[in-house]
Amino acid sequence: MRTAKIGLRQFLYLRKVPDVDDDKCECRRGSQTVRHVLFSCPLHYELRQEIWGERTRDQQDLRKVLGAPAPALKAAKFMRNTGLLGQFEAIPQTL
C-alpha cells in the first residue's frame, strides 16, 4: 500500500490494464487510490468507523498510518475487508 502499486483502479489504469477504462472509484468522487479508499471513499464509511472508530479523523496521514505496526495492521484489515483486492481473498480473517 505504501508504494501505491496495488490492484486499485488508479494503478491498473496507469499500467493500461485491459478493461480498466479510467481510474475513478466506484463512488465517482475521486481516483481509486490507497489514500482515497482508506480515508475518504463514502462507500466504505461504515467499515472505516468499524476499524478505526472515533479515531478516524486522527488517521488521515497515510505515512503515519502505513509506517507504524498497529495502524498499518488496521489499514491492511480495512483494505482486505473492502473486497477491492480480490487477490487477498485467501487471507484468513484473523487479522
Summarised one tens digit per residue, pLDDT across range 51-83 is: 988 665 556 789 999 999 999 999 999 999 999
Query: How far is the C-alpha of 66 from the C-alpha of 38, rounded, in Å?
Result: 11
Q: What is the pLDDT of residue 87?
A: 61
Question: Can you list the alpha helix ranges (DSSP code H) found in the chain?
Answer: 9-14, 34-35, 45-52, 62-67, 69-82
Does any domain span residue 90?
A: no
Confidence of residue 44 (pLDDT cuts 50, 70, 90): very high
Cell of 5: 502499486
Q: Residue 2 in contact with residue 64, Cβ under 8 Å?
A: no
Does any domain span residue 24?
A: yes
Full residue range of the structural domain in which residue 50 is found = 9-82
How many domains does one find in the chain? 1
Does any domain span residue 47?
A: yes
Query: How far is the C-alpha of 72 from the C-alpha of 20, rounded, in Å?
Result: 28
41: left (phi over 0), alpha (psi -120 to 50) or beta: beta
Query: How far is the C-alpha of 35 from the C-alpha of 85, rounded, in Å?
Result: 15
Q: What is the pLDDT of residue 86?
A: 74
Does any domain span residue 95?
A: no
Is residue 3's pLDDT more than 60?
Answer: yes
Query: What mean pLDDT value characterizes the chain?
Result: 87
Percent of the chain whose pLDDT exceeds 90 = 69
Does any domain span residue 92?
A: no
Does any domain span residue 37?
A: yes
Q: What is the pLDDT of residue 18?
A: 94
Does any domain span residue 1?
A: no
